[in-house]
Amino acid sequence: MTISRTVCLQDGTQLPALGQGTWGIGDDPTKRVSEIETLRRGVELGMSVIDSAEMYGDGNAESLVAEAIHDCREQVFLISKVLPHHASGDRLLQSVEQSLQRLNTDYLDLYLLHWRGCTPLQKTIEGLEQLRQGGMIRRWGVSNLDVDDMNDLLSCQSAKNCQVNQILYHLASRGSELVLQPYLNQHQILMMSYSPLAQAGRLQNQLLASDVLRQIADRHDADPFQIMLAWCIRSGQVLAIPKASSVAHVDRNAKAVRIELGQDELSLLDQVFPAPEYKVPLDII
């Protein structure tokens, strides 16, 4: 089985609606083999978008990704992120060079500003555009930018080349649906949903305790995690990047693309996990 459901970037590139996250991967040597095997299995299954960041394990995640994709780099759509205080001038160049070295590649498919810091957005865009023109990155985008930040961004020169905004989005965090998601669609900026499984912990447990979620999962012969993913990518305009560290998990995640939730099921989920009625600040981890 390979993933058939796709989303489209503004430059026309088609990507699978499910990719793979790497936060927390590469830190524990006893899990290394399994984590590498998992990422490789995900790529085999078509989850070929791999999201990493210089921040993750201070580069450990990128090094592990390099090992996982050493013989299939061209099949992978590789993303990394730059920390905001590194996001201009020579420091930006140094960051991308280090990421490329750790990832053992000579280009990134997408490079994201991890979140907005004190560096002026225009300076960051200038740096990203230089990297793009020099071929070290094919595209750039942002992460964790709410509508006001997006407005600031889009008022900068060359901002039209922003391809992606990667934001927190899952069944229990729907604030972006009101204003930010329509805004991104209007500007043809693809939304990537991070933490689509609500990470591990309290919020995920709250979701898993839901009878409605469990009943819908049963109807699809699926589990609640798969329903959370199917829900995230239901519009055809969102790419979700769940993180898994076992082959069993990535196998199950890949199957979520086959699940089409009916209108009645979406309405039930709306009742239990409603989107807010008024604009709320973007949730951030």
Binding footprint of ligand NDP on the chain (CB under 6 A): 21-23, 51, 114, 143-144, 166, 194-200, 225, 241-246, 249, 252-253, 285
In Å, what is the CA distance from 241 to each residue of 2, 154, 194, 212, 271? 16, 25, 6, 24, 25
Single-letter amino acid, residue 58: D
Nearest approach in angstroms of CB 263 to ligand NDP is 25
CB of 7 to ligand NDP, least distance (A): 16
Query: Distance between CA 227 and CA 210 in Å, rounded?
Result: 12
State the nearest-atom distance from the C-beta of 35 to ligand NDP, in Å. Answer: 8
In three-state form (DSSP H/G/I as H, E/B as E, the rest C), the secondary structure along 186-202 is: HCCCEEEEECCCCCCCH
CB-based contact 110:81 (threshold 8 Å):
no
- Of the pair 9, 241, the CB lying nearest ligand NDP is at 241
Closest approach of Cβ 192 to ligand NDP, in Å? Answer: 8
Q: Name the residue nearer to ligand NDP (CB basis): 166 or 181.
A: 166
Instruction: Supply 275's token pair.
Output: 């989107």
Q: How far is the CB of 168 from ligand NDP (least distance, A)?
A: 7
Q: Which residue's CB comes closest to ligand NDP?
A: 21
How far is 3 from 5, CA to CA, in rounded Å? 6
With respect to ligand NDP, which residue has the nearer C-beta, 51 or 62? 51
Looking at beta carbons only, is 134 or 248 nearer to ligand NDP? 248
Shortest Å distance, C-beta 154 to ligand NDP: 19
Q: How far apart are CA 219 and CA 73, in angstroms?
A: 38
Rounded to the nearest whole angstrom, what is the least distance from the CB of residue 70 to ligand NDP in the complex? 20
Q: Which amino acid is at 75?
A: Q
CB-wise, 140 or 225, nearer to ligand NDP?
225
d(CA 73, CA 61): 16
Nearest distance from residue 195's CB to ligand NDP, in Å? 4
Cβ nearer to ligand NDP, comparing 105 with 143? 143
The identity of residue 136, as a single letter, is: M
When the beta carbons of 51 and 265 are compared against ligand NDP, the nearer one is 51
| C-alpha distances in Å from residue 234, one per residue of 63, 182, 209 | 32, 15, 22
* Strand ranges inside 91-144, DSSP E: 110-113, 140-143
200 vs 267, beta carbon nearer ligand NDP: 200
Q: What angle do CA 158, 161, 163 make, to 5 degrees?
A: 150
Cβ-count burial of 98 within 10 angstroms (0-12 exposed, 13-18 middle, 19+ buried)? middle
